[in-house]
Structure 1
């Protein structure tokens, strides 16, 4: 029995090692994987469009956003001027289930300028995501900011609503970007890759930085052997993260 158990262990180990072998991708594959599929993250709500706040008890409130209080960019309190009574009402994140707000025009204009300021964006991002006319979805999550602070409830922007069945990715307003270079005020070459997000899978939500991506690869994707074989840890890069989440979701859901 011990011998059979040893053979089984060796077999599983060999299979896992095979699945983790490096894969060489074509230029077309890499271009596809570098395409940024997440929605754009926004920080400033429009005071001119009606926001919708849904409480944990199911109550729905609508009004014009008048104030947002945040910690490290994550919202813990929001105030609206009620669209019917015109009275200002303040809501604490711990009482809110989700909300839908619109980004301000000023921020959208600034993001368009930033888009054209980096040549890499032309091939990896859609300009229309910076000028969206749609509302932004925020969801209540209890999280430790940057995995260092005490757990607290915040309203966090979901940026992969089209493929968040298994892994939900939330905007990190304080995220930095990889560096590039420019000459004489010309558009930047390279860089511009967002370095961190808040990521939730199952009951676990964490701040995920690019430096910790490899350490968390197995937690995020390791339960899908087909995915691991096609996109092994040693072959993929942080730059592909949005594609990997999308592809993992598609392959897992079948």
Structure 2
């Protein structure tokens, strides 16, 4: 009974989500059955089994990976340019639902779309205005890899969420994040955008895009749609 109800609700969520472009849900668990792909700042690449992702207060502090030669390597965020990690469990289910609505029209050609389509999540080294507006170099998960040409939306490791959807104690769809880090092309660093501040910052964010400025649809839940509309204006 629970299995049938879970499948029914899962189908219902997918129907809801295909109505527009969606930001991916942040991922925290990763598969040991598929290889991870890490590119370092010096251009070298490491492929192998991810052993551990060490976090402190939500921020990635260390990556442990066993390369194809069987050597275990420890990496700091400042060593890494970008990485693709394979998801596991319900994290993969959540992304699969979201990825079904990706906008190929605004795909960033610099990313490996085949890996993204295969359920991998993408992290990159980014300059971020963090606590007290201090600019820091952090390893951030990009939540809109398939429509990020003009605006990048990163997961806020400290973000709280609105209600999530679940059955029998199992979460099927994460709640809406109450904050993200956002960076528009040309910005020096990503800045924190909070749900409570979106109304006040809306016109500044989307300046130059008349379709957005003149729109009455300014809801936080439609942020991903606003990103797509802004890309169309450029």
Task: Give the TM-score normalised by structure 2.
Answer: 0.72
Deviation of 1:81 after TM superposition, in Å, equals 0.5
Which of residues 65, 74, 79 is equivalent to 1:80?
A: 65
Which ranges of structure 2 fall in alignment gaps of 5 or more residues? 1-15, 102-116
Retained in 2: the 8 A contact 1:178–1:193? yes
User: Do structure 1's residue 250 and structure 2's residue 225 form an aligned pair?
Assistant: no
User: Do structure 1's residue 237 and structure 2's residue 219 form an aligned pair?
Assistant: yes
1:239–1:153: structure 2 CA closer, same or farther, 3 Å change rule? same
Residue matched to 2:76:
92
Deviation of 1:103 after TM superposition, in Å, equals 1.0
User: Do structure 1's residue 163 and structure 2's residue 150 form an aligned pair?
Assistant: no
Which ranges of structure 1 fall in alignment gaps of 5 or more residues? 1-30, 113-124
Q: Report the Cα distance in structure 1 between the residues aligned to 2:18 and 2:193, rounded to whole angstroms.
A: 19
Q: CA RMSD in A?
A: 3.4
Deviation of 1:102 after TM superposition, in Å, equals 0.7
1:196–1:244: structure 2 CA closer, same or farther, 3 Å change rule? same
Q: Which has the higher strand share?
A: 2
User: Do structure 1's residue 194 and structure 2's residue 177 form an aligned pair?
Assistant: yes
Higher relative CO (Cα under 8 Å, sequence separation at least 6) belongs to 1
Residue matched to 1:69:
54
Residue matched to 1:115:
none
Q: How do 1:90-239 and structure 2 match up within 5 A?
A: 90-105=74-89, 107-108=91-92, 126=98, 133-145=118-130, 147-148=131-132, 150-179=134-163, 192-201=175-184, 202-229=187-214, 231-232=215-216, 235-239=217-221
Secondary structure in 2 aligned to 1:162?
helix
Q: Report the Cα distance in structure 1 between the residues aligned to 2:49 and 2:170, rounded to whole angstroms.
A: 37
Residue matched to 2:26:
41
Q: Report the Cα distance in structure 1 between the residues aligned to 2:165 and 2:209, rounded to whole angstroms.
A: 38
Q: Report the Cα distance in structure 2 between the residues aligned to 1:62 and 1:207, rounded to whole angstroms.
A: 32
Residue matched to 2:105:
none
Query: Number of aligned pairs?
Result: 200
Q: Report the Cα distance in structure 2 between the residues aligned to 1:45 and 1:108, rounded to whole angstroms.
A: 9
1:172–1:245: structure 2 CA closer, same or farther, 3 Å change rule? same
1:71–1:141: structure 2 CA closer, same or farther, 3 Å change rule? farther
1:186–1:137: structure 2 CA closer, same or farther, 3 Å change rule? closer
Deviation of 1:240 after TM superposition, in Å, equals 1.1
Q: Report the Cα distance in structure 1 between the residues aligned to 2:231 and 2:37, rounded to whole angstroms.
A: 29
Retained in 1: the 8 A contact 2:202–2:218? no
Retained in 2: the 8 A contact 1:169–1:199? yes
1:67–1:181: structure 2 CA closer, same or farther, 3 Å change rule? closer
- CA deviation map 1:29-61 (0-9, x unaligned): xx9998451122201222222111101111111
Secondary structure in 1 aligned to 2:182?
strand
